[in-house]
Amino acid sequence: MIEVLLECKSSGAICSLSAKGHAGFAKKGKDIVCAAVSSLLRTTAKVLEETGGIQLSETNFSERGNLAFCVHQTDSSDLVTERLKCTASFVRNGLILLQNEYPEHLILRELKN
């Protein structure tokens, strides 16, 4: 099972995201649940990396079954804050859709600071 932890501020802005484990839906290299989660989380990280006023740290994309990053807002503008809120909403909704479709293979946990 893949366990995803989404951590957000009380404002709803994303703070960190991590995923551990394997879905076990299919063989390595053919697992659509792993592929979907990986694609969603990697795209989320890429969008944040390319957004001014945001820096990622503690990134871990190095090995199968582990993916993590922390988000730091370096620009306190409303625009950047809204981007972080929208990103949290986007990734949350994507993961919830996957979790609902594959509940034996994915669990989403959320923390609010």
Ordered per-residue pLDDT tens for the chain, 113 residues: 999 999 999 999 999 999 999 999 999 889 999 999 999 999 999 999 999 999 999 998 877 889 999 999 999 999 999 999 999 999 999 999 999 999 999 999 999 98
> The tokens of 38 are what?
């990986």
Question: How far apart, in whole angstroms, are the C-alpha atoms of residue 78 and residue 27?
Answer: 44
The pLDDT of residue 11: 94
Query: Residue 31 is which amino acid?
Result: D
The pLDDT of residue 61: 81
The pLDDT of residue 29: 86
Dihedral class, residue 21 (left if φ above 0, else alpha if ψ from -120 to 50, else beta): left
Question: How far apart, in whole angstroms, are the C-alpha atoms of residue 107 and residue 48?
Answer: 23
Q: In what order do the strands lie in the sheet with 2-8?
A: 54-60, 66-73, 14-20, 2-8, 106-112
Strand partners, 14: 8
- Can you give the pTM of this predicted structure? 0.93
The pLDDT of residue 62: 75
> The tokens of 101 are what?
């479709």
The pLDDT of residue 28: 85
The pLDDT of residue 30: 93
The pLDDT of residue 99: 98
- Residue 38 sits at φ, ψ, to 5 deg, of -60, -45
